[in-house]
Structure 1
Amino acid sequence: MDGSCMLGIFVLVILIPAVAKERASLEFIFTHFNTDNGMGIHAKAYILAMGLLMSQYSLIGYDASAHMTEETKNADRSGPTGLVTAVALSSAFGWIFLVALTSLMTEDIPSLLDPGNDAGGYAVAQALHTAFRRRYGGGAGALLCLGVVAVTTFLCGSGCITTNSRMGYAFSRDGAMPFSRFWYRVNKQEVPFNVVWLSVAVAFVMELTSLGSQVAFQAMLSVATVGAYIAYGLPIFFRVTTARRSFVPGPFHLGKYGLLVGWAAVAWVALVTVLFSLPVAYPVAKDNFNYTPVFVGGVLLLSVGAWVLHARFWFQGPITNVDL
């Protein structure tokens, strides 16, 4: 799936600049701030901070390598190698794709976001439509490009389902989920079939909220992203603090740079957590209110409460199936 995603991005990176008869300047791509955004946000520093969040939506999920290590050979090396490779490839290809896409922004940005344009206010689709119309007189090619994006997104979703199901399997194996015995079952192919479909059902229900409220849907996306980063950050934080001297590194480690990289990661997670909690529009109203801190706080409160009041009395930690 990752190879297909990379192939789709590679095709678009070549196709988009080749089709465009007009391209934005490098100065526009790397220095322009869209202060006329209709969101009431005009400070360039704030716009930059909000822009950083878009990278966080894409630079996520690379922990899939960790979730799949039980199904790989030489997991102590292949798992970390896969994680680092995923970060490097996501960063490189994502940056190149964004540069190629931004080069199409030759119109004024408010017109790209105008709900009355040919793409209904979807800026990327409108930019692609304009590029193909100028080159070929029609926008059919834009639909092809969007189709590539849609397929790539679907494959990313499939990857998320895979990793979610493996996490659900691990939690149920350890008895940490309701009805764990049911979710823990695997079929003849040793696939946790029940929890796979649980992941599909949860994803489907979450997607349905976008039909009723974009605010709620965006809040769930932010909560999922913030929650994932907090989940990434906490083990690193404990690694560089309480477990600094007792931690036993595996075959793949960063050596003397481990603590430095660890603290940098903790600082970055703290920064993006704050950024995801900031208002995304001014003045703040019920239609644009950022519910992320409310939902994240609620999840943390429920999790900590469940641990203090119940789970700490019976949960013994992950079940090991390998003698150490």
Structure 2
Amino acid sequence: MDSGEKRLNELGYKQELRREMTLFKTLAISFSTMTLFTGITPLYGSSLQYAGPAPLVWGWVVVAFFTWFVGIAMAEICSSFPTTGSLYFWAAHLAGPVWGPFASWCCAWLETIGLIAGIGTQAYAGSQVLQSIILLCTGTNKGGGYLAPRGVFLAMYVGLTIIWAILNTFALNVIAFIDIISMWWQVIGGFVIVIMLPLVALSTQPASYVFTHFETAPALTGISSKPYAVILAVIVSQYSLYGYDAAAHLTEETKGADKNGPIAILSSIGIITVFGWAYILALTFSIQNFDYLYDSNNETAGVYVPAQIIYDAFHGRYHNSVGAIVLLFVIWGSFFFGGLSITTSAARVVYALSRDKGVPFSSVWRRIHPKRKVPANAVWLCAAICILLGIPILKVNVVFTAITSIATVGWVGGYAVPIFARMVMAEKNFKPGPFYLGRARRPVCLIAFLWICYTCSVFLLPTYYPIKWNTFNYAPIALGVCLTLILVWWIVDARKWFKGPVRNIDNQVEKV
């Protein structure tokens, strides 16, 4: 018996999903969920505007350093609990019989909210890149090009979400194959962009500007406090460096998951750490005119700073938009693959929670397609909710900020529950897997937990002043309402019947 399946049986679950994923396929899906371009590209312009290039560049290094602590802590837990429910399953077992059900309930819903909102971030940002591609293909903003209005933008958002849902109703091998393409797409595309962009640009910024220049923009952002500006400038890195738990969601479908799950988690972090910093440096070195990037009358209508940087480089050298369109298409492909992978992860979490009767109408969402062995109903539930999140695009300008904040707080906040439980639990109650921290687990978990708390707090802050209806960060209100309803549901009803992960085989869990 496969070591991952053996451990799954010990934990009280029978093998229902096909266990046919290799380490490389799992790594490909995990890497595609993090993605090289999708975190950096949509927030690069706003982060650069807050405090200039130096905080943006060095912020990536700082965030990557602390992200390793989170990844290492999660890799150890994943090695011991290779289950599809991942975070909320971990929370239930690590928190013990008294607090386990409540910890599992909180973690499950945080993770579910974060993942479904994460689909929305990919659909929105992918639509932004597609909007820029169409604009440049039809003549640029200065040449009468077509800038998609709100209704068309929403149609692109919905279209991407539906395509991802359709693809996720096929067997997981199809998704794994697409994600292998995604991995090479991003690695090769990343190399091309990182190397070509500074070479093509007619001029590049000096190293002193990239690594040391600090400049706030209170006239544009309303923020004059330098520490506050730096905090907001680093958000791009905090948003980009998560999602590596996707490997944990696929452990019931991965061969040797108790070993390969942790390897995929840590490998994803390592690859993105290196390539992400190189991408930020390539963009920053290639800036031609800082103020022109945000001009609403420029070629990209001032709506997407990386698109303008790429356009300036290629148009300045070759006097046409072809090169910029090609590179933007590479970036758009990254959003497409990222959204596909996040949909895969979200559906697995909804399926696992439904299997444990933690979602209304659980019997519907936990159904597995008889032939393809995928949770198809859970896929379409996630897609439907994601589409509903995007409807305010028709009227509100800060939809992306809100969805991004909800996704980050929910997704990363879900990491905190099992990590905190692992930190405080008695070591004798933990059965280690092949990846084990030993005495290092408490300091690693403590640093990881504190970093997660800081990250979640940052994404609830106002991002522009003065605060108005069209600049207000709605994430605290949205999250507050959702979490209040979930907590009330627990107090009034769920605590009476929700006991966390529900065993579906009769084997006794091995004593520790």
What residue in structure 2 maps to residue 162 of structure 1?
344
SS in 1 for 2:372: coil
CA change 1:30–1:208 in 2 (3 A) is farther
Structure 2 letter corresponding to 1:220: I
Query: Is contact 1:77-1:251 (8 Å) kept?
Result: yes
- Rounded Cα–Cα distance in structure 2 between residues aligned with 1:243 and 1:308: 27
1:219 aligns with 2:219: no
Structure 1 letter corresponding to 2:336: F
**1:118-167 deviation line (CA, Å, top 9, x unaligned):** 11102111111111111101122111111111111110000100000111
What residue in structure 1 maps to residue 41 of structure 2?
none
SS in 2 for 1:214: coil
> What is the identity percentage for the equivalent residue pairs of Structure 1 and Structure 2?
39
Structure 2 letter corresponding to 1:309: V
Query: Is contact 2:190-2:275 (8 Å) kept?
Result: yes
SS in 2 for 1:306: helix
What residue in structure 2 maps to residue 299 of structure 1?
482
- Within-5 A mapping of 1:234-313: 234-243=417-426, 246-313=429-496
- Within-5 A mapping of 1:52-131: 52-108=234-290, 110-121=291-302, 122-131=304-313
SS in 1 for 2:309: helix
In the TM superposition, what is the alpha-carbon distance from 1:321 to its structure 2 partner? Answer: 4.8
1:231 aligns with 2:423: no
Per mean C-alpha deviation after superposition, the further-off stretch among 14-23 and 118-127 is 14-23
Query: Is contact 1:206-1:217 (8 Å) kept?
Result: no
1:136 equivalent among 318, 327, 334: 318
SS in 1 for 2:359: coil
- Rounded Cα–Cα distance in structure 2 between residues aligned with 1:8 and 1:270: 34
In the TM superposition, what is the alpha-carbon distance from 1:244 to its structure 2 partner? Answer: 5.5
**Superposition RMSD in Å:** 1.8
Query: Is contact 2:286-2:313 (8 Å) kept?
Result: yes
1:24 aligns with 2:205: yes
Structure 2 letter corresponding to 1:267: L
Calculate the TM-score normalised by the size of structure 1.
0.94
Tell which has more relative contact order, 1 or 2 (C-alpha 8 A, sep 6+): 2
Calculate the TM-score normalised by the size of structure 2.
0.60
In the TM superposition, what is the alpha-carbon distance from 1:68 to its structure 2 partner? Answer: 0.6
- Rounded Cα–Cα distance in structure 1 between residues aligned with 2:396 and 2:214: 28
Query: Is contact 1:169-1:195 (8 Å) kept?
Result: yes
Query: Is contact 2:408-2:456 (8 Å) kept?
Result: no
CA change 1:12–1:207 in 2 (3 A) is farther
**1:224-266 deviation line (CA, Å, top 9, x unaligned):** 1111111011111121124556333222122222211111111
Per mean C-alpha deviation after superposition, the further-off stretch among 35-44 and 175-184 is 35-44
In the TM superposition, what is the alpha-carbon distance from 1:290 to its structure 2 partner? Answer: 1.8
Query: Is contact 1:19-1:132 (8 Å) kept?
Result: yes
Structure 2 letter corresponding to 1:138: N
1:191 equivalent among 374, 397, 400: 374
What residue in structure 1 maps to residue 58 of structure 2?
none
Query: Is contact 1:113-1:123 (8 Å) kept?
Result: yes
- Within-5 A mapping of 1:4-43: 4-36=185-217, 38-43=220-225
- Rounded Cα–Cα distance in structure 2 between residues aligned with 1:100 and 1:211: 34
Structure 2 letter corresponding to 1:265: A
**Structure 2 runs not aligned, ≥5 long:** 1-178
Structure 2 letter corresponding to 1:87: I
What is the total number of aligned residue pairs between the two structures? 323
Structure 1 letter corresponding to 2:311: H
What residue in structure 2 maps to residue 200 of structure 1?
383
Query: Is contact 1:236-1:266 (8 Å) kept?
Result: yes
- Rounded Cα–Cα distance in structure 2 between residues aligned with 1:79 and 1:191: 20
In the TM superposition, what is the alpha-carbon distance from 1:202 to its structure 2 partner? Answer: 2.5
CA change 1:140–1:278 in 2 (3 A) is same
Query: Is contact 1:33-1:47 (8 Å) kept?
Result: no
